[in-house]
Amino acid sequence: SQQGEEDPQALSIQEGENATMNCSYKTSINNLQWYRQNSGRGLVHLILIRSNEREKHSGRLRVTLDTSKKSSSLLITASRAADTASYFCATGNAGNMLTFGGGTRLMVKP
Amino acid sequence: DTEVTQTPKHLVMGMTNKKSLKCEQHMGHRAMYWYKQKAKKPPELMFVYSYEKLSINESVPSRFSPECPNSSLLNLHLHALQPEDSALYLCASSRGEGRTNSPLHFGNGTRLTVT
């Protein structure tokens, strides 16, 4: 079953703006991961945040995790047209496989 | 570019055909996966191989048959498929066994169309 649910399903912004995507999940987790998928291609791992971490940065990416609310957010700052893609969160808990959320389709207009 | 290579990139097959999808990785990863992805949906797990042994089969129909000849190669044999099996088939690998939740490295997939 799909544990992660993402919000919004689709997001359209102008280049230079920030993009925020949210992921909610239902059960306890070991870690939460974010992936990007360009149209018709494979997923690319972006960042992993462990259950005992609250925030993590990688370049223009900022991920937060709130285990009390069972939610995470991915912030892309100063977006570029090349950031146009689908973004998926994936949750992992001990002894089980990663489960992907439904994804957010991001369009960044030049 | 991805370090997981999938061939072919596109495949069109009839319902009576037999075909195979291939996947190769040289990162020394010990876990390899097959996922199926329909348009605008997340990837759905089909099979997991850990140390060249099938460890997970997510109740996939027998018309899909996985094979792991060695630690670098993963095949998916297709036979008597249905049009609803048309999808993007993704191969992935990870350093740790699937349940350790290690990050996945994906290939670019095979776009399969069943006519």
B96 close to B31: Cβ distance less than 8 angstroms:
yes
Nearest partner of A31 among A73, A69, A67, judged by Cα: A67
Report the amino acid identity of residue B5: T
Which residue of chain A comes nearest to B6, CA vs CA? A42
Q: Which residues contact A31 (CB under 8 A, 6 or more apart)?
A: A48, A49, A50, A51, A91, A92, B101
pLDDT 10s digits, A1-60: 446 788 899 999 999 999 999 999 998 999 999 999 999 899 999 999 999 999 999 999
Residues of chain B contacting A33 with CB distance shorter than 8 Å: 101, 103
Please tell me the distance from the alpha carbon of residue B108 to that of residue A57, in angstroms, as a whole number.
26
Q: Which of B41, B45, B106 sits opposite A42 (nearest CB)?
A: B106
Where residue A48 falls (left for φ over 0; alpha for ψ -120 to 50; beta otherwise) is beta
pLDDT 10s digits, A50-94: 999 999 999 999 999 999 999 999 999 999 999 999 999 999 887
